[in-house]
Amino acid sequence: MTDVTVLFREHHESLWRFLTRLTGDPDRAADAAQLAFVRYVERPPVTNNVRAWLFRVGRNAALEAARTHNRRLRLLSTAAGRVPHADPQPAADEAFVAADRARSVHAALAHLSMKERTVLLMREEGFAHREIAAAVGTTTGSVGTMIARALDKLAAELRLDRETST
Amino acid sequence: MTAPTMDPHVGDDVLVRVLDDQASELERSHARPHLDTCDVCRTRLDTLERRTRSLHAVLRAADPPMPAMRPPLPGAHRSRHIPRAWLSAAALAALLAGGALVASPAGVRLLDWIAATLGSTAPVDPPAEPVSSGIEFVPAGGELVIEVIDGRAGGEVRLQTHSGSSVTARVRDASGPVELVVLASGLRIGNSGTRATYEITLPEQLRRVRVQIGGEPAVDIPTGQLPRVIRFGP
């Protein structure tokens, strides 16, 4: 078993970033990433690609958490009067702009199917096409097509055809 | 009838593989000469490359700051590795075997012999061994969520503050296993079917603590209002 501290240092940030972009919720992403490492400690997987395993477990945990969250939201919406709400914190301009930017990026990503989103975001984290294919249950050949299609869908919404300075 | 014509251009799948350096030798050997002479494919490749670069920049700009997290420690949680279905089957089998033994003449003689040997016929229960465990961590933000999974299991959450910067959680007198998991938002207590007392000490500088028990609406408690004991279950 690889030392979990070493694994955590090498992969946690990338996993958290992937899950944050996938779900649009940094807290839920952090929880799901942490659960992936807890699962690793509890039952180390028999695999030669621990990184891909962590991403798969983290993704499943995040999606399950999202389903639970949505169920709770439905329950709360039926009893809104009984639920305590905190006063909203006054947001600084910078934080507001950053949050607004994150919201619009997530909204654009939400237009993709979960499979397309996973493919695109795993590619961003540097996974090989065959690893992405294994994660989403498709062929290596179709990964390229899905990436091109996802980029086409996002192009207008995120104005990807403008040259970036970075 | 006209014969079907082959598309002379390079497909998106191959273009992306070329872009990502994932194309096979054969694909590269076909695509490269074509890309040198075909404006349509060259433009499409440039578009995909530009969009990839832009998306990378857009995603980076929208990423929130990462919360401080620590790796889970092997001793920081307790969990059952035996599937519950197996435990149920084993318990049922033991019950049936015990019942059959007691009901049989041989079983009665055996029980009499055991009673005579021990000098008493009163059944003796082994003392239940209370389970205790604990965890310590530094919270990521100004508030903390404490989530108790099973609200029907019974027990109490005792909250208090201290001047330190870490959260300590101790499980006292647990009737079974309890899993303590530190999450970015706070602490999850996996107490499925286990009754216990949870002593949780929080840093004074924490703004508030949110306690959620068994899927009930969360209760927000400013740390200034601690100590407090929250009882739950039957």
pLDDT band at residue B214 under the 50/70/90 scheme: confident
Amino acid at position B39, single letter? D
- List for chain B the helix, strand, coil content (%; round to 5): 35, 25, 40
B63–A145: do the CB atoms touch at under 8 Å? no
Q: What is the pLDDT of residues B102-129, one digit of tens each?
A: 666 666 666 666 656 555 444 444 444 4
pLDDT of res. B80? 44
User: What is the average pLDDT value for chain B, to the nearest integer?
Assistant: 78
Residues in chain B: 234
A129 to chain B: closest CA residue: B22
Q: What is the pLDDT of residues B80-101, one digit of tens each?
A: 444 455 566 676 777 777 666 6
Comparing A22-36, A101-115, B217-231, the range with the smallest average pLDDT is B217-231
Task: List, in sequence order, the alpha helices (H) in chain A.
Answer: 4-23, 26-42, 50-77, 93-110, 114-124, 129-136, 140-157
* Candidates B7, B9, B13, B216, partner chain A, best to mutate (most A CBs within 10 A): B13
pLDDT band at residue B25 under the 50/70/90 scheme: very high
Pairing of strands B167-174, B196-203: antiparallel
Measured distance CA(A29)–CA(B113) in Å, rounded: 62
- What residues of chain A lie within 8 A of the CB of B185, using their CB? 27, 30-31
The shortest CB-CB distance from B13 to any of A104, A120, A144 is to: A144
- What residues of chain A lie within 8 A of the CB of B50, using their CB? 160-161, 163
B64–A147: do the CB atoms touch at under 8 Å? no
B27 to chain A: closest CA residue: A141
pLDDT of res. A139? 94
Q: Is pTM beyond 0.90 here?
A: no
Both tokens of residue A87?
């006063």
pLDDT of res. B125? 45
Measured distance CA(B191)–CA(B213) in Å, rounded: 11
Q: Is the pLDDT of residue B168 over 50?
A: yes
Per DSSP, the three-state class of B84 is helix
Measured distance CA(B234)–CA(B174) in Å, rounded: 15
- What residues of chain A lie within 8 A of the CB of B71, using their CB? 4-5, 7-9, 12, 37
Both tokens of residue B140?
């990521």
pLDDT of res. B75? 52
A41–B16: do the CB atoms touch at under 8 Å? no
Q: How far is B114 from chain A (nearest CA, A)?
A: 42
Q: How far is A101 from chain B (nearest CA, A)?
A: 6
A124–B72: do the CB atoms touch at under 8 Å? no
Sorted by sequence, the CB contacts under 8 Å of residue B62 that are 6+ apart come out as A98, A101, A102, A104, A105, A106
- Give this complex's ipTM: 0.81
Sorted by sequence, the CB contacts under 8 Å of residue A157 that are 6+ apart come out as A108, A111
Is residue B224 within 8 A of residue B151, CB to CB? The reply is no
- What residues of chain A lie within 8 A of the CB of B22, using their CB? 128-129, 144
Is residue A17 within 8 A of residue A55, CB to CB? The reply is no
Is residue A153 within 8 A of residue A112, CB to CB? The reply is yes
pLDDT of res. B103? 66
